[in-house]
Structures are given as structure tokens and as C-alpha cells.
């Protein structure tokens, strides 16, 4: 064959390989340490707190539609279409009752569903990828104690090509870092490291407070510096940087805001942040709230 024909054959072969890679379900390898299980004693009690810290209820509860907590169905409008949160109750047909520990950890840290389908990053697995496996299993343990709700997850309302879920493989290849628990910074103390873990991993603050790029990826060069087109059209304020009013608050004022929603100027939290405080941060310990505030304040000094 001529060089041109060899080139055409090579291009077609590569296209077929890429197409097969996109279409076939993926199953990332998940390694759970021996003896670690969601059924271990005390895991559910610990998981109840972690689920609050991870703000799972806010997204997986269709309050306006009269749904049940954790049963999903909440609509989230984005520039790519409207996504509906899934059912996290232990219903075996519509929830996660049939999921194994590996399934749950894989979804949380790799963005892969029970059937191997790639999940859309509206589910913040880009942050949860840094959650400790033991914490993930504790969260699953708590969710398993809930009453099963037979609520079917609504189909997302997104147009082509975004509706072709297989494209998420390419998105992950470009924008998802390797799933690995967030390691402590040995140059910092335990409080700072705890705050960092809550902000960057469990609390996934950067998912809303960081501007997004053309393909919905986080603009890491502007981490936590605000998002003009946040969830449900809200303008999300900066937590750090020169344009952040919150960066001017003291550690105590910021911790109080996360606990009660009260601002130093006697205003209060509004919109999605008010919901996050109500469903999540106000239930955290004062020590954890202070750790988050201290960590955020430390970023303003860099």
C-alpha cells in the first residue's frame, strides 16, 4: 500500500480503538484494606457525621418537590443542561441497596456507577477522589441505615453531545486527578490539616467556589476565588483572594458564619449557601468549623 493508504488505515484503526474504549463500561480497581468494611461496628454512627460534612442531603433531597431526604430527584440547572440527583437510600431497585463497598468507593472516588457507567462531574467526585476509604465506607454504612425509598431517578435533561455519557471517559482523562486520599502536610499542624481535608475533600467547597472552564472543569488557577455562574445561576463569592470579603473576616467570624449563617455586618447567608449551612455545616463540631476557617484564612496569606 502507498504511504497515504497506510495513514488512512492507521487513522481508522485508532478511531475504532478510541470508540471501543469510549463505549465499553469501565471498572476502576478499588483496593479496600483487609478488615475494613462498611459493616464494622461504629461505622454507621461515624458515617452520619461524615455525610453531614459532605453535604449529601442538600443535593439528594428534592425539598421543593416534596421528596424524601436522600431519595434524590433534585434538579440542578447547569450550562450543559439539567441534572437530577440519584437516590441514595438502600432501596435495591432505585437506590444503592444492591451496591457493594467497592461500588460505593468507586462511585465516590472514580466517578463510576454500579453498572460501570461514567458519572457526570455534577457529582463532585473530583473532590471526593481525595476522601479516605474508611470515611467513604462509613458514609455508606450510615446510608444503609436509612429507610428504603422506592423513588426512581429522573433522566437528565441534557442535549447531544453532552448526553453521550461515554465522553466522560475523555473528560476524566483530562481533568480528574488520580484517586488518592489527601495526605497531611507535615509542615502544618493537625488543625490545619483537618480543615484542609474538610474544605478540599469532604466539603468539596471548590466545586462551587471555583470558576469553571469551557468543558465544566475547575479552573485550578482560580481555586476558591469565586464563580460567576454557580449552581442554579447564583453568583458564588470568593473565599480567598483579593476580591474576597470573607478573607477579611477573622477565624472566629468565619467559623460563626459556617455555624449560623450570620455575617459580621449582620447580614445572613442566602441561596445555596444558606442550604449548605442548614443541612451540613451547622451540624459540625466547633473544632471542625474552626479548622475549616483557619485553613481558609491561611490560603489568604499565600
Model confidence pLDDT, tens digit, residues 235-255: 888 888 877 888 889 999 999
Task: Please say whether the beta carbons of 247 and 294 come within 8 A.
Answer: no
- Tell me which residue has cell 453532552: 162
pLDDT of amino acid 281: 95
Q: Could you give the dihedral angle defined by the CA atoms of residues 258, 259, 265 and 271, in that order, rounded to the nearest 10 degrees? A: 60
Alpha carbons 175 and 207: distance in angstroms, whole number:
13
Q: Which domains does the chain have, with CATH numbers?
A: 43-175 (no CATH), 190-299 (1.10.760)
What global pTM score does this model have? 0.89
Nearest by Cα to 116 from 94, 93, 99, 130? 99
Chain center to CA of 185: 22
pLDDT at 21 over 50: no
pLDDT at 5 over 90: no
| Residue 225 phi, psi dihedral angles, 5° rounding | -100, 25
Q: Helices 133-143 and 43-53: crossing angle, nearest 10°?
A: 100
Q: Could you write out the three-class secondary structure of 16-45? A: HHHHHHHHCCCCCCCCCCCCCCCCCCCHHH
pLDDT at 151 over 80: yes
Amino acid at each position: 500500500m502507498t504511504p497515504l493508504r497506510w495513514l488512512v488505515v492507521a487513522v481508522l484503526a485508532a478511531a475504532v480503538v478510541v470508540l471501543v474504549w469510549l463505549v465499553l463500561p469501565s471498572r476502576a480497581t478499588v483496593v479496600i484494606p483487609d478488615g475494613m468494611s462498611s459493616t464494622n461496628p461504629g461505622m454507621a454512627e461515624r458515617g452520619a457525621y461524615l455525610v453531614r460534612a459532605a453535604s449529601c442531603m442538600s443535593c439528594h433531597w428534592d425539598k421543593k418537590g416534596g421528596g424524601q431526604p436522600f431519595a434524590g430527584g433534585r434538579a440542578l440547572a447547569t450550562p450543559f443542561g439539567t441534572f437530577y440527583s440519584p437516590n441514595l437510600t438502600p432501596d435495591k431497585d432505585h437506590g444503592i441497596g444492591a451496591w457493594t463497598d467497592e461500588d460505593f468507593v468507586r462511585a465516590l472516588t472514580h466517578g463510576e456507577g454500579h453498572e460501570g457507567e461514567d458519572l457526570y462531574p455534577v457529582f463532585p467526585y473530583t473532590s471526593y477522589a481525595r476522601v479516605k476509604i474508611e470515611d467513604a465506607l462509613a458514609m455508606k454504612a450510615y446510608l444503609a441505615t436509612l429507610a428504603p425509598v422506592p423513588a426512581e431517578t429522573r433522566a437528565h435533561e441534557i442535549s447531544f453531545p453532552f448526553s453521550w455519557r461515554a465522553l466522560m471517559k475523555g473528560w476524566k482523562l483530562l481533568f480528574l486527578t488520580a484517586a488518592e486520599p489527601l495526605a497531611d502536610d507535615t509542615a502544618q499542624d493537625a488543625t490545619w490539616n483537618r480543615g484542609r481535608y474538610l474544605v478540599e475533600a469532604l466539603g468539596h467547597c471548590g466545586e462551587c467556589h471555583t470558576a469553571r472552564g469551557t468543558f465544566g472543569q475547575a479552573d485550578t488557577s482560580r481555586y476558591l476565588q469565586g464563580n460567576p455562574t454557580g449552581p442554579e445561576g447564583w453568583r458564588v463569592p470568593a473565599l480567598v483572594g483579593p476580591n474576597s470579603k470573607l478573607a477579611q473576616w477573622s477565624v472566629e467570624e468565619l467559623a460563626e458564619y459556617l455555624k449560623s449563617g450570620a455575617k459580621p455586618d449582620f447580614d445572613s447567608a442566602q441561596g445555596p449557601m444558606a442550604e449548605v449551612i442548614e443541612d451540613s455545616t451547622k451540624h459540625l463540631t466547633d473544632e471542625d468549623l474552626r479548622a475549616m476557617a483557619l485553613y481558609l484564612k491561611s490560603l489568604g496569606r499565600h
